[in-house]
A = this chain, B = another copy of it.
Amino acid sequence: MGLVVQKYGGSSVADAEGIKRVAKRIVEAKKNGNQVVVVVSAMGDTTDELIDLAGQVSPMPAGREFDMLLTAGERISMALLAMAIKNLGHEAQSFTGSQAGVITDSVHNKARIIDVTPGRIRESLDKGNIAIVAGFQGVSADKKDITTLGRGGSDTTAVALAAALDAEVCEIYTDVDGVFTADPRVVKKAKKIDWISFEDMLELAASGSKVLLHRCVEYARRYNIPIHVRSSFSGLQGTWVSSEPIGDKKVEQAIISGVAHDTSEAKITVVGVPDKPGEAAAIFRAIADAAINIDMVVQNVSAASTGLTDISFTLPKTEGRKAIDALEKSRSGIGFDSLRYDDQIGKISLVGAGMKTNPGVTASFFEALSDAGVNIELISTSEIRISVVTRKDDVPEAVRAVHTAFGLDSDTDEAVVYGGTGR
């Protein structure tokens, strides 16, 4: 008998109908002879409503209490899901993150899982129950306070439980049929990917693909847990993410896995930096001290006449204000002329392990952008990814051009998006 972990996002359990539909699917997995553990997010907009309520009573909700508040969301969905399953004649028990043994550090609102001790889950499974677990939440090791895992936390809960329970697969149910070669909302002819390696999936996630978050894929790779991303609305096979193709999925690794884009970043240019050792270090020390993660970095060639150079980097728009403040504060120490802030940028990335051994991928990529009339502002590359920054308005056209140029277009418009986006 196999053990399957299934995760359902908020859009899959948005209302009573959704919960009943999901319950049927879970019972089917159980009937197929599996032990089933289900990780569930809060229903539809519940989390947003709770955040809104918090904003009404306090302009800056505090970490510990904010987590206590938000975790009410999964408590509701998991209890309802257990009831719906019982109503289909199968035994189910729901467990909070704490009850399920999801142990985290004490960083409220974005805690990290440090251990999973699923004794109660194992016990419940051994009694023949289906176990329902609240996603996105845990309990801190030292203070025994309730914590939340931050954005995409339910996916991480699912993978972590799958690892701790030695599951055969972690099925991530969402509102799309799987991982596509590009965002189907931008590229109508995007194709579903049948299998993708952990490495390529990590690069896609880092480059703006929203289906799976980086952290969750990283966790799955570390413990070698195959992920099956699929729709809770259709019954179709989705995308397998694993180290090697699984079972009859003898798919050869494609040269290019897909095209990702990201319009959530901004660019800061530090103008007139003295071109001498230690300057760049001073800039990025100031940024790092403010706990801001940056993405791409480019330094212009210094103008010989002035001995000054410009340094540009990208970062999440949400961190823009903080970064500017941090740099202004260190201005005298660093010594630069001015700062330029630009939030009208977009990033397009081409991902594929095949590019390591296929020369010419970079050239074809730039040619496709050039043919589409898209100007490139920054470039960054890894072994299996090329990313460029362009004007934000150019992003859709650029993504479509690159998708076509690398032969990724499907013969039909196959991509379907079923609902909103879960947590």
Contacts and interface: CB of A to CB of B under 8 A. Distances in A.
Interface of A: 16, 19-20, 23, 50, 53-54, 56-62, 64-66, 68-69, 71-73, 75-76, 78-84, 86-87, 92-94, 99, 144
A59 B87 contact: yes
Given A68-B94, A69-B80, A76-B72, A62 B86 contact: yes
Contact of A68 (B23, B65, B71, B78): B78
Q: Is chain A's interface secondary structure helix, strand, loop, or mixed overall?
A: helix
Contact of A62 (B56, B61, B65, B83): B83
Contacts of A59: 87
Contacts of A84: 57-58
Contact of A83 (B54, B79, B80): B54
Given A57-B19, A57-B87, A84-B57, A68 B72 contact: no
Nearest to A60: B87
Contacts of A93: 64-65
B50 A65 contact: no
Closest 4 CB pairs of A and B: A69-B79, A16-B56, A58-B87, A68-B79
A76 B50 contact: yes
Given A16-B56, A53-B16, A61 B83 contact: yes
Contacts of A58: 83-84, 86-87
Most chain B beta carbons < 10 A, residue from A59, A80, A87, A94: A80
A180 to B, nearest CB: 32
Contacts of A81: 57
21 contacts: A16-B53, A19-B57, A23-B57, A50-B76, A54-B83, A57-B81, A57-B83, A58-B83, A59-B87, A60-B87, A65-B93, A65-B94, A66-B83, A68-B78, A68-B79, A68-B82, A69-B75, A69-B76, A69-B83, A72-B73, A75-B75
